Chains A and B, each alone.
Chain A
């Protein structure tokens, strides 16, 4: 069973291992700096489907199937799958995974979904509630735009703080065995984040809205475990982008925590920010999921990275709450990975 340390952190006595992982991305992401590291890059943003929602569902389905394949497993081997996305009622997950026949628990954590689903899959496996569990999430630029912002062909201008929703999906298979190849990557601990809201209302500045949550969760984890940032090779936040990353580091400095030498952000890694015109960086559930399930887990598996704190961040607003003038609550969950 997981052991609770401090107030907010759970440490695993028998850390579950990552048996397989996969990332599937769209054209723009494939053209980015991590392009060669993804398992599958689609050249057609619609994936040949008749709607953006169907395209996103397929991203998620493919991510799970490739991850299962890489783990040498079949859908019937899985006891549970945790999945979520940004669309209303999480339809990318439910429609994408409906043919898989795996016990399903839908999750909503906005862009923090990868850390949320990975945490739950790990807790289920370690506690014995599942022998093997999967975590998956996705986002699609076009399906997110039409739900949260404007039609694609609308002639508007994006502000410099706006982030680009990634067309991407990532999936991780958690179990107890040794992985088929590479170094064993284990999930050592998780910190479930608290909702944090410092009053940011601008839907085009979600990095600023999420930064306090990321800073809070990391502070909680370091406090609970009595560790310092120097003990980790990489502190990886999920899609804070340029503005959010700067604000998070500034908030942490006020708590006397310095992370800048080992901090990176998935939203800054997925795209070439200037050349690909993504303003403050990438965002969306698929952003942190695809970065984790490509370069990060690959580097860990190859022994280049050993101790990684993965902190995916989410902005928990809806178009309705924003139109009603509400501020944007942020969330961040932390997963400590060790190879």
Chain B
């Protein structure tokens, strides 16, 4: 072939349609917003039932995680996520899905090397860097408070 890698990159970029960003962003905004509004509704409901606000917030997370896990198990979550994109990925729902999906998928390799070892295959990096970042942040805050 007479085409160089640079020329081919230009050709390939031209031939490859990009993701529909405007549609993706609007869907993410709507669905993500809807999930957060649901969270607020649940918080208000739990407070009206007599829970402390702090406890109510924990129960909101628990409810959303349980719902996402259930929807993932029933094979519904990925169909919503296909349209919602970051709308379902960014809230706690995406985190729950990213742990339940591999747990289901790798069941065939057994409880130890399958479910146990592969459960955090997607969420693992989030945990590693999330925890590292929070430790660093805590350390910096601690130093600032000393003076």
User: Interface on A for B, CB 8 Å cutoff?
Assistant: 50-53, 146, 150-161, 196, 198-200, 205, 208, 212, 215-216, 219, 243, 246-247, 250-251, 254-255
Task: Flag whether B5 is at the interface (Cβ < 8 A).
Answer: yes
Q: Are B1 and A196 in contact (CB under 8 A)?
A: yes
Q: Does the CB pair A251–B101 fall under 8 Å?
A: no
Number of residues from B at the complex interface, CB < 8 A: 39
B94 in contact with A153 (CB, 8 Å): no
Report B15 CB to chain A, min CB distance, Å: 5
- Shortest CB-to-CB span from A293 to chain B, Å, is 29
Supposing A205-B12, A247-B11, A254-B2 touch, asked if A155 and B101 sit within 8 A by C-beta, the answer is: yes
- CB contacts (< 8 Å) of B1 on chain A: these are 196, 198, 212, 215-216, 219, 251, 255
Closest B residue to A279 by beta carbon equals B17
Cβ of B16 and Cβ of A155 under 8 Å apart?
A: no
User: Given A50-B108, A150-B122, are A155 and B2 also a contact pair (CB < 8 Å)?
Assistant: no
Residue contact B108 to A51, C-beta cutoff 8 Å: yes
Cα distance, A319 to B108, chains bound together (Å): 20
Contact A146 B81 (CB under 8 A): no
Q: How long is the Cα–Cα vector from A157 to B77 in the complex, in angstroms?
A: 12
Please give me the residue from chain A that is nearest to B96 by CB atom.
A155
- Bound CA span A283–B81, Å: 23
A243 B101 Cβ-Cβ under 8 A: no
Give the residues from 8 to 48 in chain B that come closer than 8 angstroms, CB to CB, to chain A. Answer: 8-9, 11-12, 15-20, 24
What residues on B are CB-neighbors of A243 within 8 Å? 12, 15-17
- The reply to whether B12 and A153 form a contact with Cβ atoms under 8 Å apart is no
Q: Is the CB of A153 within 8 A of B2?
A: no
Which secondary structure dominates chain A's binding surface? Answer: loop
Residue of chain B at shortest CB distance from A327: B5
In contact, B11 and A250 (Cβ under 8 angstroms): yes
30 chain-A/chain-B pairs, Cβ below 8 angstroms:
A52-B108, A53-B108, A150-B122, A151-B102, A153-B77, A153-B78, A153-B100, A153-B104, A154-B101, A155-B72, A155-B80, A155-B82, A155-B89, A156-B81, A160-B19, A160-B20, A161-B17, A199-B8, A205-B12, A205-B16, A208-B16, A212-B1, A212-B3, A215-B1, A219-B1, A246-B15, A250-B11, A251-B1, A254-B2, A255-B1
B75 touches A153 (CB 8 A): yes
Residue from B3, B11, B81, B102 in contact with A155 in the complex, judged by beta carbons closer than 8 Å? B81
Tell me, in angstroms, the Cα distance from A215 to B11 when the chains sit together: 14
User: Knowing that A154-B102, A251-B1 are A-B contacts, what are 8 other residue pairs whose CB atoms are under 8 Å apart, sorted by A's residue number?
Assistant: A53-B108, A151-B106, A154-B101, A157-B19, A157-B82, A160-B20, A161-B17, A208-B15
Chain B: minimal CB distance from A98 (Å): 19
In the bound complex, do residue A255 and residue B2 qualify as a contact, i.e. CB atoms below 8 Å apart? yes
Contacts A146-B105, A155-B101; A200 near B81 (Cβ below 8 A): no
Which of A154, A161, A199, A215 interacts with B98 by CB under 8 Å? A154
Complex Cα–Cα for A53 and B114 (A): 15
Taken together as a complex, chains A and B put the C-alpha atoms of A98 and B37 apart, in Å, by 56
Q: Report yes or no: A153 in contact with B18, Cβ–Cβ below 8 A.
A: no
Residues of B within 8 A of A215 (CB): 1
Choose among A51, A146, A196 the residue with the greatest number of B CB atoms under 10 Å from its CB.
Answer: A146
What chain A residues lie within 8 Å of B98 (beta carbons)?
A: 154-155
Give CA–CA (A199, B4) in the complex, Å. 9
Q: Once the chains are docked, how many angstroms separate the CA of A153 from the CA of B121?
A: 14
Q: Which residue of A lies closest to B12 (CB)?
A: A208
B18 x A160 contact (CB < 8 A): yes
The 6 closest A-B pairs by CB, nearest first: A155-B81, A151-B105, A153-B101, A198-B8, A151-B101, A199-B5
Please, how many angstroms separate the alpha-carbon atoms of A12 and B102 in the complex?
50
Residues from chain B with a CB closer than 8 A to the CB of A200 are 8, 12
Give the Cβ gap from A227 to chain B, nearest Cβ, in Å.
20
**Cα distance, A154 to B89, chains bound together (Å):** 10
Contacts of B5 in A (CB 8 A): 198-199
Given A51-B108, A198-B1, A254-B3, does the pair A155, B12 have CB atoms closer than 8 Å? no
Query: Which chain B residues in 65-117 approach chain A with CB under 8 Å?
Result: 72-73, 75, 77-78, 80-82, 84-85, 88-89, 94, 97-98, 100-102, 104-106, 108
Q: B1 → chain A, closest Cβ, in Å?
A: 6
CB distance from B126 to the nearest CB of A (A): 13
> In the complex, are the beta carbons of A251 and B81 less than 8 A apart?
no
Determine whether the beta carbon of A152 is less than 8 Å from that of B11: no
Given the interface pairs A198-B1, A212-B3, A247-B12, the reply to whether A155 lies near B17 with Cβ below 8 Å is no
Assess whether B97 is in contact with A198, with CB atoms less than 8 Å apart: no
